[in-house]
Chain A
Amino acid sequence: MPVPPVAAHEPADAPRYGAVAMALHWLLALMIVTSFSVGLYMTSLPFSPLQLKLVNWHKWAGITILGLSALRLLWRLSHPPPPLPARIVAAMPGWQLVAHRGTHFLLYLLFFAVPLFGWAYSSALGFPIVWLGVAPLPDFVPVDKEFAEAVLKPLHKGSAFTLAAVVLLHAAAALKHHFVDRDGLLDRMWIK
């Protein structure tokens, strides 16, 4: 996965992400936060129509996130993000540059891992996913309830909590650049 290259010269007006990249970023941010919250809430509910509804919406959202993330990755590969402005790079300690690359890499890894583990968990439990209630998806793992509960559920849950932690770190770093460093980094992704 490409990481934003470092700009050799600081442009007069720092280049921003494109409209498609911004739209995908904010749409997926909203979907991921909502799906994570629904996931937490639905697992606390007793068996009920509401729970059944939320579980299915959660699965549909997860598959949509998976598909949009694939589009987003293809878009990113064909439309590389703007390089970090040189003055910001110069102001960042080395470990922050490593963390910057590491969190972006982890975010993309988890955009795929979390929904794929969820899909596998559902399939292994014997509940194939029918996307939006109309499109039956294939099962890429066989039905095996013990494997589902002992392995796939902790993987889905663990990767989802890891994603939540990395998202928080990502958001905290962006806010730190904006409010503490006041370096205008957030403007690259802020819809104006």
Chain B
Amino acid sequence: MKHTPWRALCAAAVFAIAGLASAAEPMAKLVPGQGHIGFVSKQMGVPVEGQFKTFDAQIAFDPHKPEGGTVALQIDLASATLGVPQSDAELPKAPWFDTARFPKAGFQSRTIKALGDGRFEVAGKLTIKGITQELVVPVTLTQSYGQTVATGSFTIQRLAFKIGEGEWTDTSMVSDEVQVRFKLVLTGLRPL
């Protein structure tokens, strides 16, 4: 109970800051059903592709003033699929994503740097299964017909987030490195 006033205050501060950011920067919207967040792990040397079917993002960002922008992403971990019913039944369980306790993974940007030619570097915090790690994500933006496509990929160590616990920590079975590839289709972003 004693944390409640602090929480309320923090929440108020977050909303205030978010409000300021969104007031300052145009808010982009995800085009439903168009993006893709995939991941590739290696099972005994075999690249196995999966994806998260459900995710949402709040992007308040001006390509000409990237340092003032913010990117937040929430991924519904229960929507993870490898396309094989047998392994899909395992992914929500405790050794993998433990979706009963941790329904969502999230990314919250801290700084955005322009690298030129529509390329940006987004640094922030990635949280999966309650574990938060600093991450730098390269993002490339391309625009056509009022839509912006943001693509990029980065590699995480699954064990740092306790993805695959117990007998599955053996990296000779499932590699520690997992490549994450994303493509977000947005509307409402200012021209590059």
Q: Which residues of A contact B (CB under 8 A)?
A: 47-49, 52-53, 56, 125-130, 133-134, 136, 145
Contacts and interface: CB of A to CB of B under 8 A. Distances in A.
Contacts, number: 37
A128 B47 contact: yes
Contacts of A56: 43-46
A48 B46 CA distance: 16
Nearest to B90: A47
Which of B46, B49, B86 has the most chain A CB atoms closer than 10 A to its own CB? B46
B83 A47 contact: no
A80 B126 CA distance: 66
Given A52-B173, A53-B173, A47 B87 contact: yes
Given A48-B167, A49-B168, A125-B84, A134 B173 contact: no
Contacts of B170: 49
Contacts of A49: 167-168, 170, 173
Interface of B: 43-49, 83-84, 86-87, 89-90, 167-168, 170, 173-174
Contact of B48 (A47, A48, A53, A127): A127
Nearest to A145: B83
Contacts of A128: 46-47
A125 B85 CA distance: 11
22 contacts: A47-B87, A48-B167, A49-B167, A49-B168, A52-B173, A52-B174, A53-B173, A56-B43, A56-B44, A125-B84, A126-B48, A126-B49, A126-B83, A127-B46, A127-B48, A128-B46, A128-B47, A130-B44, A130-B45, A130-B46, A133-B44, A133-B45
A136 B86 CA distance: 24
Nearest to B42: A130
Contacts of A53: 44, 173
Nearest to A128: B46
Given A48-B167, A56-B46, A128-B46, 16 more contacts: A47-B90, A49-B167, A49-B168, A49-B170, A49-B173, A53-B173, A56-B44, A126-B48, A126-B49, A127-B46, A127-B48, A129-B46, A130-B44, A130-B45, A130-B46, A134-B45
